[in-house]
Each structure stands twice: as structure tokens, then as C-alpha cells.
């Protein structure tokens, strides 16, 4: 698990510095707050916080980032890791969705490959979205957004509620929550969507 964690972390760090900072955060007047590497790893593993960001108004918040390769461009959802049932560490079975304390989820589809040998193929984003997790969690508490652990492969809306299915990775290593961005928008407009590019036509 840790080898996979550090591989994912290197990819996230690369995209954060080379793409997200100039293309997403700079136009919003957000900036990365330097933090001790050991503390940052603790925040990531225990609270689902990848970076501390200073917003345009001076407030400092935690941000979770998930970046994917161009092969995911056909999907209209953002995802959060849900469970790692095969983890040998009990406290890591429940993943990001259960422990996350970040204020924002920044989810982006790059125009290149995640492979380390092809990092120079990453020059921009095909699409990206910033979700306000405080507002998302509020809708979960009010049961307007429901986690569907045994549902369909993709999200659905019924009677003004958004059902977010849980799907397993093909290798069975973990599951993830699917948040359909167009459906989220159709129900509540930009309420939970702080900013986006390419997810909404």
C-alpha cells in the first residue's frame, strides 16, 4: 500500500506544481502554504489533506487533490477513495471519504499520462472541478446526497436526491465514491461547485 501511496503522491506533487498552481490556483489567487513534509504526510494519511492553501481572502484551508490521466476524460464524475478492505492496517480500511477534513476537493483530468516515464506529456487539463466539501457534507447530513454501496455503476437522481454509487477498482484493491458533476449541478446549480472548467457543457 505504501509503495502505491508514494507513487500516487509523486504524481500529485508533480501535477500540483507544474499544472494546478499556474492553471487553476493562480487565476483564483490561491497559493500553496509551505508545510513540513512530515506534517503534510500525516495530514494526508489521517485527514485527507494534500496541501494547505491560502485563499484570495487570506483564509487558509486544506485541499484534497485527485488527478487522472487523459483516458478518464470520457467520465463526467469526480471520485473519492471510499474503502481499502484489503489493507492490513485497520485505521486505513476507511479511506478518504470517511476521514477527509479538507475544505475543497480539486479533481482534474490531465491531457497526458500518469506514467512516470511520460510526465512530459502533461501540459494542461482537459477538465477540472473544485468541490466545496463543507457544502457537500451538509447535503450528506441532510440526506440529500446518499451513498449507494450496492447501487448502479453510475449516479442517479430520484426525488431531488443525488445517489452516489461506490465502485471497486478492477484490481479489487479499493473502492471509490462516484460524484456525478452534471447531476450535482442540475440539482443545486453551483452550490457545491466552487469552480470548474470542462465538466459542464
Return the C-alpha cell found at 22.
499556474
Q: What is the pLDDT of residue 1?
A: 46
* pLDDT score of 93: 46
pTM of the model: 0.88
126 burial level (CB within 10 Å; 0-12, 13-18, 19+): middle
Question: With bands split at pLDDT 50, 70 and 90, how would you rate the model's confidence at 37?
Answer: confident
The C-alpha atoms of residue 22 and residue 32 are separated, in whole angstroms, by 11
Cα–Cα distance, 64 to 62 (Å, whole number) = 7
Residue 36 half-sphere exposure toward CB, CA atoms < 13 A: 3
Per DSSP, the three-state class of 58 is coil
pLDDT above 70: residue 2: no
> Any idea where the domains of the chain sit in the sequence?
2-197
Distance CA(7)–CA(2), nearest Å, equals 8
pLDDT at residue 11, rounded to an integer? 87
- The better pLDDT of the pair 115, 76 is held by 76
Residue 90: predicted pLDDT: 47
Mean pLDDT of 117-130: 92
> How does pLDDT run across 61-86, given as a tens digit for each residue?
999 999 999 999 999 999 998 866 55
Q: What digits encode the pLDDT tens for the residues 165-198?
A: 988 776 666 788 999 999 999 999 999 999 999 9
Amino acid at each position: 500500500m505504501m509503495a502505491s501511496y508514494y507513487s500516487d503522491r509523486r504524481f500529485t506533487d508533480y501535477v500540483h506544481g507544474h499544472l494546478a498552481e499556474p492553471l487553476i490556483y493562480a487565476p483564483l489567487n490561491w497559493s500553496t502554504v509551505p508545510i513540513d513534509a512530515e506534517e503534510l504526510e500525516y495530514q494526508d494519511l489521517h485527514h485527507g489533506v494534500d496541501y494547505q492553501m491560502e485563499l484570495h481572502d487570506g483564509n487558509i484551508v486544506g485541499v484534497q487533490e485527485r488527478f487522472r490521466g487523459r483516458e478518464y476524460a470520457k467520465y463526467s464524475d469526480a471520485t473519492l477513495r471510499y474503502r481499502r478492505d484489503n489493507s492490513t492496517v485497520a485505521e486505513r480500511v476507511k479511506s478518504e471519504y470517511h476521514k477527509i477534513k479538507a475544505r475543497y476537493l480539486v479533481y482534474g483530468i490531465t491531457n497526458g499520462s500518469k506514467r512516470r516515464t511520460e510526465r512530459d506529456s502533461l501540459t494542461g487539463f482537459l477538465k477540472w472541478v473544485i468541490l466545496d466539501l463543507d457544502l457537500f457534507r451538509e447535503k450528506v447530513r441532510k440526506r440529500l446526497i446518499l451513498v449507494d454501496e450496492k447501487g448502479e455503476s453510475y449516479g442517479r437522481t430520484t426525488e431531488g436526491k443525488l445517489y452516489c454509487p461506490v465502485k471497486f477498482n478492477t484490481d479489487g484493491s479499493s473502492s471509490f465514491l462516484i460524484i456525478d458533476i452534471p447531476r450535482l449541478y442540475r440539482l443545486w446549480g453551483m452550490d457545491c461547485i466552487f469552480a470548474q472548467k470542462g465538466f459542464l457543457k
